Structure 1
Amino acid sequence: MSLPAALLAVTDRHGRAAGLADTVRAILDGGGRWIWLRDPDLDPAARRGLAESLLALARAAGASLTIGRDAALAAAIGADGVHLPGGTRPRAIAAARRILAPASLIGVSAHGPSELAEIAAAGADYVTLSPIFETASKPGYGPALGLAGLRAAAAAHGLPVLALGGVGAGNASACRAAGAAGIAVMGGLMRARDPAAATRAFLGAWERGDPTGAENPPRLPPAA
């Protein structure tokens, strides 16, 4: 099963003064075609309302929407898949598969190459691996795995791996050269002054950048 796009935009409504729907609209305007609704701290009713709004935006742009954690919500609104948290067991992946539409994608968060065997055997479609680079948003997951960790994960089990954590336009293509199927980005889009321009920069870097990019990403600009 192919992935919707090489860039997965991860939402964080706390990272930006503008409304999340406006930020997602800008990302879509910039060419983004895959959105992961994260924001797990919303109450269920508010999260469903936001999910439905983002799904409408995604559909209008020909893009895909993945719902974080909640397979039941993804199934209820007809989203394109679910992304399950780190530590998810095979039975939870199987349970999500049972209630989602046949073409839905199931992703799982991983924090080391050793986790991929079980995730792949359980039938997930892809993983996000983090943190690849040092990042303030992933302080609790140990040291950065680096390109070597990404390379080891991408070479194992035939499961598409998205690089997450500290990925910037300066190292996106290095992730691709290391075997990543794509990149997942939160802060670099959610905190960008111009999310549409930032999206275009990430997409351009993935397609055309120098595959010998540095291990450490450039500093993010301050929030507007």
Structure 2
Amino acid sequence: MNGVVVLTDRRQVRRPLREVIQRAVDGGARCVVLREKDLPRDERAALAAALRSVLAPVGGRLVVAGPDPLGGDAVHLTASGPYPPPDLALVGRSCHDVSELERLTTEHYAMVSPVFPTESKPGYGPALGVDGLARLVGCSPVPVLALGGVTPRTARDCVAAGAAGVAVMGAVMRADDPADVIRGLVSATESVGPFADRGGVRS
């Protein structure tokens, strides 16, 4: 699995979300985090099933934001909880500072943000920058994914700072061709994988 994770946001897309994810997969995406937390559970579960059908032919994986895996085996949790995390095949957590990283227990990876200013969440921050990302990578017990304003141009800087990969939302959701964006990101991070053993991953 390469070092690029796509987060969904149907409010930013210019076409059906499933089509956007299909194009991202065509470009090389192999891991997608389903957000859309405002949807009723049955609608969200149906969307999860649809996205899994897109990812399955390429051996990809759907991660569900929140503690309910919606029939799968992978979740991504917020910094605020729940603690302890559920016992699943893959569990990630959003973190923003050292104190949140220090609370990690059995999680497999941390998603650190915002690394750069982001159009998806203007004013969210302050941005860590590459140096801030490197500091958090240095104290994280698990592999770190860099999120927030990441582009193909900056993804290589994130990996150079020690990130195991990058996570993107708006750059893919708003793209005229998500496949092109993903190809650029994969090229910038091709030597790493977000859930590979990088000296601190827990399994």
TM-score (norm 1): 0.80
* Structure with greater proportional helix content: 1
Choose from 80, 83, 93 the match for 1:87.
80
Secondary structure of the corresponding residue to residue 106 of structure 1: strand
Aligned to 1:219: none
Runs of 4+ in 1 over 2 A off after TM superposition: 136-142, 205-208
Secondary structure of the corresponding residue to residue 86 of structure 1: coil
Deviation (angstroms), 1:72: 4.5
Choose from 2, 7, 11 the match for 1:5.
2
Backbone CA RMSD of aligned residues: 1.6
Q: Which runs of 5 or more structure 2 residues have no equivalent in the other structure?
A: 192-203
Report the more deviating stretch, 144-153 or 172-181: 144-153
Aligned to 1:110: 95
CA contact (8 A) 2:117 2:125 kept: no
Secondary structure of the corresponding residue to residue 13 of structure 1: coil
Deviation (angstroms), 1:207: 3.6
Query: In structure 2, do the counterparts of structure 1 residues 140 and 68 end up closer, same or farther at CA, with 3 Å as the change threshold?
Result: farther
- Distance in 2, Cα, partners of 1:57 & 1:38: 16
Q: Please tell me whether residue 183 in structure 1 is matched to residue 176 in structure 2.
A: no
* Residues 91-110 of structure 1: per-residue CA shift (max 9 Å, x gap): 2x1xx11xx3xxx1100011
Deviation (angstroms), 1:204: 1.2
Partner amino acid for 1:52? A
- Distance in 1, Cα, partners of 2:170 & 2:121: 11
Partner amino acid for 2:81? T
Larger Cα Rg: Structure 1 or Structure 2? 1
CA contact (8 A) 1:68 1:82 kept: yes
CA contact (8 A) 2:119 2:170 kept: no
Choose from 147, 153, 156 the match for 2:139.
156
Which aligned pairs between 1:116-127 and structure 2 lie closer than 5 A?
116-119=101-104, 122-127=105-110
Which aligned pairs between 1:202-221 and structure 2 lie closer than 5 A?
202-207=185-190
Partner amino acid for 1:152? R
- Distance in 1, Cα, partners of 2:69 & 2:159: 32
Report the more deviating stretch, 55-64 or 123-132: 55-64
Partner amino acid for 2:45? R
* Residues 160-190 of structure 1: per-residue CA shift (max 9 Å, x gap): 1100001111110000000001100001111
Query: In structure 2, do the counterparts of structure 1 residues 89 and 202 end up closer, same or farther at CA, with 3 Å as the change threshold?
Result: same
Aligned to 1:42: 39
Partner amino acid for 2:75? V
Question: Per chain length, whose mean CA-contact separation is higher, i.e. which structure has more relative contact order (CA < 8 Å, sep 6+)?
Answer: 2
Aligned to 1:15: 12
Partner amino acid for 1:10? L
Aligned to 2:61: 64
Secondary structure of the corresponding residue to residue 11 of structure 2: helix
* Residues 72-93 of structure 1: per-residue CA shift (max 9 Å, x gap): 42xxx2x2410011212532x1
Secondary structure of the corresponding residue to residue 103 of structure 2: helix
Aligned to 1:213: none
Report the more deviating stretch, 185-194 or 136-145: 136-145
- Distance in 1, Cα, partners of 2:127 & 2:140: 22
Secondary structure of the corresponding residue to residue 49 of structure 2: helix
Deviation (angstroms), 1:139: 4.0
CA contact (8 A) 1:128 1:164 kept: yes
Identity %: 40
CA contact (8 A) 1:58 1:65 kept: yes
TM-score (norm 2): 0.88
Query: In structure 2, do the counterparts of structure 1 residues 60 and 7 end up closer, same or farther at CA, with 3 Å as the change threshold?
Result: same
